[in-house]
Structures are given as C-alpha cells and as structure tokens.
Amino acid sequence: MKVLDLHCPHGHLFEGWFASEDDFQGQLQRQLVLCPVCGHSDITKRLSAPRINLGAKPAATPPAAAAEPAA
C-alpha cells in the first residue's frame, strides 16, 4: 500500500492511498483522483517521507529509580 501526499492547483493538500505506483498513475490518467475539497482532477504528488513498518517493538522499560542516599 502506498500512501501519497497530493495537491491540486488550488493548493489543497490531501492524502491518497494506492495499491502501487502503477495503480496511482492509472487512476491519475483516467482522472479518477480528485481533490476532495474542490473536485479538481489536475493532481500532483508532493515529496513525502517513506513509511517504514518495522513491526511492533516491545515497550521500552523505564530507567531504574535512583537509589535514595543512606542517612
């Protein structure tokens, strides 16, 4: 699954989810990708950081409490 940051010529930013880059390009060519705000079909991708799923990690253990100095 590819999550893309998209925008229209009016400056509306939104996210699109696609099975692959080919799926996105195919929908874009058939004008199926529309801005959810204004309905414009002239959509372009913005630069976005890749999402890396490394799986679930165990919860970090909190640091041990500092020992109270002896009086």
**CA pair distance 58, 65, nearest whole angstrom:** 20
Q: Residue type for 55, please?
A: G
**CA pair distance 22, 17, nearest whole angstrom:** 12
Q: Does pTM surpass 0.75?
A: no
pLDDT band at residue 1 under the 50/70/90 scheme: confident
**CA pair distance 53, 40, nearest whole angstrom:** 32
**CA pair distance 34, 46, nearest whole angstrom:** 15
How do residues 2-24 score in pLDDT, each as one tens digit?
899 999 999 999 999 999 999 99
**CA pair distance 42, 18, nearest whole angstrom:** 17
* Listed residue (51, 52, 30, 49) closest to 41, CA to CA: 30
